[in-house]
Amino acid sequence: MLIVLDGLGGLPLVPGGPTELEAANTPNLDQLARESVTGVHHPMEIGVTPGSGPGHLALFGYDPVADSIGRGALSAIGLGIELGDHDLAVRLNFCTLDGNGNVTDRRAGRISTELNQQLIAKLNGIHAPDVSLELAAERRHRAVLVLRGEGLDARVRETDPQAIGVPPLAPDALHPAAEHTSRILTGFAHQVGTSIGNEQPANFVLMRGYGQYRVLPSLESLYQLRAACLAVYPMYRGVARAVGMKILPVTEEPNNQMEELEKAWDAFDFFFVHIKETDTLGEDGDFDGKKRAIEAVDRWLPRVRDLKPDVLVVTGDHSTPAKLRAHSWHPVPLLLWGSLARSDHVEAFNESACLSGGLGHIPARSILPLMLAHGQRLAKYGA
Examine residue 345 and tell whether it contacts a second copy (CB under 8 A): yes
Q: Which of the ranges 226-234, 246-254, 263-271, 321-329 carries the binding residues for a second copy, by CB under 8 A?
A: 321-329
Q: How far is CA 293 from the centre of its chain?
A: 16
Segment interacting with a second copy, rule: CB under 8 A, options 25-33, 219-227, 308-316, 336-344: 336-344
Is 310 a binding residue for a second copy by CB under 8 A? The answer is no
Indicate whether 264 belongs to the interface with a second copy (CB under 8 A): no
Residues 90 to 119 in contact with a second copy, rule: CB under 8 A: 91
355 binds a second copy per the rule CB under 8 A: yes
* Residue among 56, 75, 72 at smallest CA distance from 64: 56
Report the residue number, 204 or 223, with the smaller CB distance to a second copy: 223
Of residues 200-259, which lie at the interface with a second copy (CB under 8 A)?
A: 208-209
Of residues 55 through 74, those in contact with a second copy by CB under 8 A are 55, 64-65, 68, 70-72
Task: Give least dist CB 264 to a second copy, A.
Answer: 26
Contact flag: residue 356 with a second copy (CB under 8 A) = yes
CB 338 within 8 A of CB 308: no
DSSP string for 207-264: EEEEE---PPPPHHHHH---EEEE-SSHHHHHHHHHTT-EE----SSTTHHHHHHHHH
370 binds a second copy (CB under 8 A): yes
Residue closer to a second copy (CB basis): 158 or 269: 158
Q: How far is the CB of 191 from a second copy (least distance, A)?
A: 23
Distance from C-alpha of 24 to C-alpha of 292, rounded to nearest angstrom: 7
What sign results for the dihedral spanned by CA atoms 160, 162, 168, 169?
Answer: negative
| Separation CA 125–CA 178 (nearest Å) | 24
Distance CA 146, CA 330 (A): 33
Among 134, 158, 172, 220, binds a second copy (CB under 8 A): 158
Are 26 and 294 within 8 A, CB to CB?
yes
Residue number with CB closer to a second copy (45 or 98)? 45
